[in-house]
Chain A
Amino acid sequence: MKARKWLSFLGLSLLLVILAACGSDDNGSEANGNSEGNEASGSLLVSGSSAMQPLVAAAAEEFMAENSDADIQVQAGGSGTGLSQVAEGSVEIGNSDVFAEEKEGIPAEELVDFKIAVVGMTAAVNPEVGVKDISKEDLIKVFTGEIKNWKEVGGEDQEIVLVNRPDSSGTRATFVKYGLDGATPAEGITEDSSNTVKKIISETKGAIGYLAFSYFTDDSVTKLSVDGVEATDENVQNGDFPIWAYEHSYTKGEPTGLAKTFIDYMMNDDVQNNLLPEQGYIPATAMKVERDAEGNISNK
């Protein structure tokens, strides 16, 4: 009995020590930051884009397995939160689906942009609508509510049900900009999480929404090709498929210490060529085209 009490007490104190260590994030990395920028210890706080969170969390886990002195915490919370917090200096790295220049109230010139990955997106429809390819013109008409039934674009006689993401969501912004050429989508069901969007599309007759490529893992929703171009990683890399976005990691000023080491780690070939595709992202290093904050495309 006594031994057990002792054990549980030890366990509890260990837990408290770990919690206390986690609690002192902000100062840790600054204290450890040095000019060599090759530090792999200390702690680091990353926040922002929920689309990027699984990727960065997986990378952080592998990084911490290799560097036992490093403690990296990855929080989701949205691109807006990530950009705001990194600009304020309350986190070292802020992740975003959109360029900082595109968000109101962010001092983009103070931030340094690292394009970690690329995410392709396309329209997803309920498998029963009988459409696999759509012209961009029709896609815009579908989303603006001009076309109301799938039979008008060669599908079944089913009413179209739109599933949107919230106004300020990065996925929505990208889809509207490059998929709908800026046209405002008509009103429809709005859900915040891509998983919920996928669930709704798979269960609702005539539903259409938009998802990142990584969500097309089974047959429950159909991936639409646009203007005959298949929505694949290769076509995004070639610049043939237009709907894609960078996943950015922003730091305030040039990164130092652990922040720099971690960003370098995410940009190295091992992570870019293995971890990223595994998680459903396209490596930034594999892109043959480049895009700037204004949306201009150029060959790399």
Chain B
Amino acid sequence: MKNKELSAQDRLILSKKNRRLDEVRGKIYVTAAALIMISATIAITIFLGSKGMQSFITNGLNIFEFITSTDWNPVGENPSFGAFPFIFGSFAVTFLSALIAAPLGIGAAIFMTEIAPSWGRKILQPVIELLVGIPSVVYGFIGLTVLVPFLRDNIGGIGFSLLAGTIVLSIMILPTVISISTDALASLPNNLREGSYALGATRWQTIRKVLLKAAMPSLLTAVVLGMARAFGEALAVQMVIGNVRELPSSILDASATLTTIITLNMGHTTYGSLENNTLWSMGLILLVMSFAFILFIRYLSSRRKI
């Protein structure tokens, strides 16, 4: 307000006094923020790494057997720890929900950026923000009260199934997919569109052959980020998937994921017991997978041309 009366030159001179101090302060703040973030991530990795390896080092479980065996019975006479059904379940719901969410999400993004940029955005943006704001336990509860009985009565099985988990998850990851895809499409330079129209292409041809191709790496990033979210989701899936520790033979069978087994059992086991350690090992698998997702995204973005 006050500066308004001063000339540009005066303002420059005035700000010069605080300039250096301001620079230093700003630098210290952002560097500290970055360092805290980095050290937190490293600390989590080290902690989860050492905790997750304990069941193999201290308890002598065979890591290969843990990952590939399908026999999970931690409280029996001869306890066995095969986490493969849960690893399979995690991957199954993740890929299936991406299969649903990717076309839907990218379609919505195209609608918002290319077909109806003004009113489409006005309607869809709040819808997406609403979807993000709903807590996952609410998704789970809706799934349990509406979706599971619906599947049981209309499609078959007992309702608790991979399919129910997939549907709940695909709705939960839609906002991630839509918003990143929208940003990707909106950031495409306008001369791509104009060039395509100038060559006589229709709008749909432009979208399909020019815009989608150009934005493909970013669109894939959107889908992979959605998958990373799906892979880590626990609560909503736990309520609808049935948590059965056998490999499902169809998508109407109940199943379990790594996260649901961790959240189901963590509170009941005692720290340092073998069963507790194996839950940490599953957590480590989740961390490794999230690293893998990130590496894949880095790879995709390095291929980005525009």
Contact = CB atoms under 8 A, between A and B. Distances in A.
Given A80-B276, A168-B265, A204-B158, A189 B270 contact: no
A168 B275 contact: yes
Nearest to B256: A190
B239 interface: yes
Contacts of B269: 78, 80, 168
A204 B268 contact: no
A235 to B, nearest CB: 28
Interface in B58-95: 73-76
Nearest to B266: A78
B152 A80 contact: no
B78 to A, nearest CB: 11
A167 B262 CA distance: 11
A199 interface: yes
Contact of A189 (B242, B266, B268): B242
Contacts of A83: 270
Interface residues of A, number: 33
B75 A190 contact: no
A168 B152 contact: no
Contacts of A189: 158, 160, 242-244, 254
Contact of A184 (B73, B263, B271, B276): B73
Interface in B250-277: 254, 256, 263-276
A51 to B, nearest CB: 11
Contacts of A103: 270, 273
Interface in A74-113: 76-81, 83-84, 88, 103-106
Contact of A190 (B73, B242, B270, B275): B242
Interface SS of chain A: helix, strand, loop or mixed?
loop
Interface string A55-82: 0000000000000000000001111110
Interface residues of B, number: 34
A78 B268 contact: yes
Contact of A169 (B244, B256, B268): B268
Given A84-B270, A105-B272, A166 B264 contact: yes
B162 to A, nearest CB: 13
A189 B152 CA distance: 14
Most B CB atoms within 10 A — which of A76, A166, A200?
Answer: A166
A188 B244 CA distance: 6
A191 interface: yes
Contact of B144 (A78, A106, A161, A196): A196
A196 B254 contact: no
A74 to B, nearest CB: 15
A79 B73 CA distance: 20
B137 to A, nearest CB: 11
Contact of A104 (B160, B242, B264, B274): B274
B267 to A, nearest CB: 2
B85 to A, nearest CB: 10
Most B CB atoms within 10 A — which of A168, A173, A189, A203?
Answer: A168
Contacts of A184: 73, 76
Interface string A212-233: 0000000000000000000000
Given A161-B158, A189-B244, A204-B159, A166 B274 contact: no
Contacts of B273: 80, 103-105
Contacts of B246: 187
Contacts of B267: 50, 76-81
Contact of A204 (B73, B152, B264, B270): B152
Interface of B: 73-76, 144, 148-149, 152, 158-160, 238-239, 242-246, 254, 256, 263-276
